[in-house]
Amino acid sequence: MTTTENVGSEIDPAAFNPFDGDTLQCPFPHYETMREQAPVVHIEALDMYLVTRYDLVLEVVRDIETYSSEFGGASMPIPAENRARMEEVQAEGWPRVPTMLTADRPGHTRYRRLISKAFTPKVIEELEPVIRSITTRLIDAFIDDDSIEFVEQFGVPLPVEVIAHALNVPDSRLADFKRWSDDSIAGIGTNIGLEERLEAERGVNEFQHYFAEQLELRRTEPQDDLLTNLLNARVDHDDPDIDDDRPLDMAEMLSMVQQLLVAGNETTTKLLTEMVRLLAENPEQWRELRSDPSRASLIVEEGLRLSTPTQGMFRIATKDHELDGVAIPKGARLVVVFASANRDEELFADPDAFDPDRDHLRDHLAFGKGIHFCLGAALSRLEGRVALEELSRRLDTIELTESNEFRYFPSFLLRGLTRLDVDITAADR
Ligand code: HEM
């Protein structure tokens, strides 16, 4: 939504239930109340501390001594009584090694150094023509229709096909690749049942077996691709910031590939969808974009701020301390709520409004900040820009179909529309 009704005083920040249906639909009034009344608040039901103000979110992500990223996976913790069953299923794959997102220094530095040899700015730059050709093909498929379901016809396939291309996945395995991506995020910020979690974990095993085979293949038959680069990535032996100069082992490589998939697919889908919704709701912005495609980058930034597909991420307190006067015990789990920081009225004037020309446009925290700053930021910005350039070039009008219900996926960490129906008219060719 572009505007939120202020129901501030009716909300008890400590009783906030992120899984409540209405809250999932629109958490922003709750965040506003929290920023105002309790920017660091202990949520009883989750036993987690939510951090909602911009300055405090920044303080937490920058203070890597006090706030660890070793939260063991972004999925919701599994209750103790069910852990054995989960471990049994996981034993059929490679160990789930915490890399990048869930690692602290110095291990994190080693992972970032190694992936930076494989996922280089050049690799991303070279994806631009691929992104443009996938985008054009997707648009061609619906250009003569009166209406489209944007999520399925564009939002999902674009990032999946781009990252699949980067990982050299053949078209014949695209459907599996998408399923593995869904399985990898099944537990993130949701409260789905155990059986569903186990089924998803089996999908992750399948993903691991596929990529392990592909990586093994490249030991003897190297290719000019990201997987081969990952296999061959080495760190400098005398790098003072790392204490371990081993190349990546198989479990580590699989964890890293999985993160590219998880972090790259869903988030970008959600960004693309929300941007189209915002443009359809703000036709003057759509018209300006059509007449001046260089505005695409501004719209991507404002789309990132308002949609913040990764609404928040976990941190673990490494010691007893206070944050904004609230006592946080060692071992406590915090959620840095990027989505709330991105609507902090102290920094962003009229924060719920869609204004690609606003002050502080690029200060949003949709990609986080500090050592865990999103590895794929440049790629998703590129996908967003190319998508907007091509959509606005090929389509004359976009309007939201009356029947839209604007339902969001039931996750409080990954926020995105389940579907978006859009009436379209093609531009003159
Ligand atoms: C709109 C799209 C995206 C959004 C909103 C997003 C958001 C984020 C955020 C907020 C973080 C920081 C998490 C933290 O501080 O704990 C992050 C980290 C990360 N992202 Fe993204 N991301 C996006 C796209 C991508 C893409 C396309 C890729 C890869 C192809 C990617 C890969 C990663 C990885 C590997 C990390 C972990 C980095 C680390 O911990 O060092 N992301 N992302």
C-alpha 141 to ligand 1 mean position (Å): 30
- 299: tokens are 């719209």
Residue 412 has pLDDT above 70, yes or no: yes
CA of 376 to the centre of ligand 1 (A): 6
Cα(333) to centroid of ligand 1, in Å? 20
Contact criterion met (CB below 8 Å) for 57 and 337: yes
* Ligand 1 neighbours by CB, cut-off 6 Å: 61, 69, 100-101, 112, 163, 259-260, 263-264, 267-268, 271, 309-310, 313, 338, 366-368, 372, 374-376, 379-380
**In this structure, is residue 397 part of a structural domain?**
yes
For ligand 1, atom 37, name the residue with the nearest CA.
101
Pocket test for ligand 1, best of 374, 415, 417 (most atoms within 8 A of CB): 374
Residue type, 21: G
DSSP of 233-249, one letter per residue? ----TT-TT-S--PPP-
Return the CATH number at 156.
1.10.630.10
The 3 state secondary structure assigned to 101-168 is HHCCCCHHHHHHHHHHHHCCHHHHHCCHHHHHHHHHHHHHHHCCCCEEEHHHHHHCHHHHHHHHHHCC
Range with the poorest average pLDDT among 247-251, 270-274, 340-344:
247-251
> What's the mean pLDDT in 59-73?
93
Residue 123 reports pLDDT greater than 50 = yes
Ligand 1 pocket test, candidate residues 115, 163, 375, 382, most atoms within 8 A of CB:
375
Output the CA 63–ligand 1 centroid distance in Å. 18
Distance 119 CA to ligand 1 centre (A): 13
- Protein residue with least CA distance to atom 19, ligand 1: 374
Say which range, 51-65, 66-80, 213-227, has the weakest mean pLDDT: 66-80
Closest ligand 1 atom to the C-alpha of 119? 30
Whole-angstrom distance, CA of residue 427 vs CA of residue 208: 44
Domain total in the chain: 1
Assign 198 to helix, strand or coil: helix
d(C-alpha 363, C-alpha 258), whole Å: 28
Asked if residue 2 belongs to a domain, the reply is: no
Torsional class of 308: left (φ above 0), alpha (ψ -120 to 50), beta (otherwise): left
Return the pLDDT at 262: 81
Atom of ligand 1 nearest to the CA of 256: 35
| C-alpha to C-alpha distance for 220 and 41, rounded to whole angstroms | 54
Contact 348, 342 (CB under 8 A): yes
224 CA to centre of ligand 1 in angstroms: 24
User: Percent of the chain beyond pLDDT 90?
Assistant: 71
Beta bridge mates, 30: none
Domain annotation covers residue 248:
yes
> Residue 1 domain-assigned?
no
Let me know if 178 is exposed, middle or buried by CB neighbors in 10 A (0-12, 13-18, 19+): middle
Cα-flanking dihedrals φ and ψ of residue 308, to 5°? 35, 70
Residue 203 reports pLDDT greater than 80: yes
List pLDDT tens digits, range 345-372: 999 999 999 999 999 999 999 999 999 9
Residue 170 in tokens = 């053949």
Q: Is residue 125 a part of any domain in this protein?
A: yes
DSSP secondary structure letters along 342-374: TT-TTTSSSTTS--TT-TTGGG--TT--GGG--
Which atom of ligand 1 is found nearest the CA of 380? 27
In this structure, the residue with its CA closest to atom 41 of ligand 1 is: 372
Helices (H), 186-281: 194-220, 226-232, 250-281
The pLDDT of residue 141: 97
Mean pLDDT of 242-264: 89
How sure is the predictor about 238, in pLDDT bands with cuts at 50, 70 and 90? Answer: confident
pLDDT digits (tens, 9 = 90+) for 287-321: 999 999 999 999 999 999 999 999 999 999 999 99
Q: Tell whether 3 is covered by a domain.
A: no
CA 151 – ligand 1 centroid, Å: 20
Range of the domain at 47: 8-426
Q: Could you identify the atom of ligand 1 that is nearest to the CA of residue 271?
A: 1
Give the closest residue to 267 by CA, choosing from 331, 214, 312, 324.
Answer: 312
Between the CA of residue 178 and those of 168, 174, 207, what are the distances in Å? Answer: 14, 6, 10
The reply to whether 185 falls in a domain is yes
Q: Which residue has the tokens 């907007």?
A: 388
The rounded mean pLDDT for the chain is 91
82-111: per-residue pLDDT in tens? 788 888 888 898 998 888 999 999 999 999
Residue 80 has pLDDT above 80, yes or no: no
Strand partners, 43: 48
Q: Using the predicted structure, report yes or no on whether residue 165 has a pLDDT greater than 50.
A: yes
Residue 401 Cα, ligand 1 centroid: separation in angstroms?
A: 32
Domain contains 42: yes
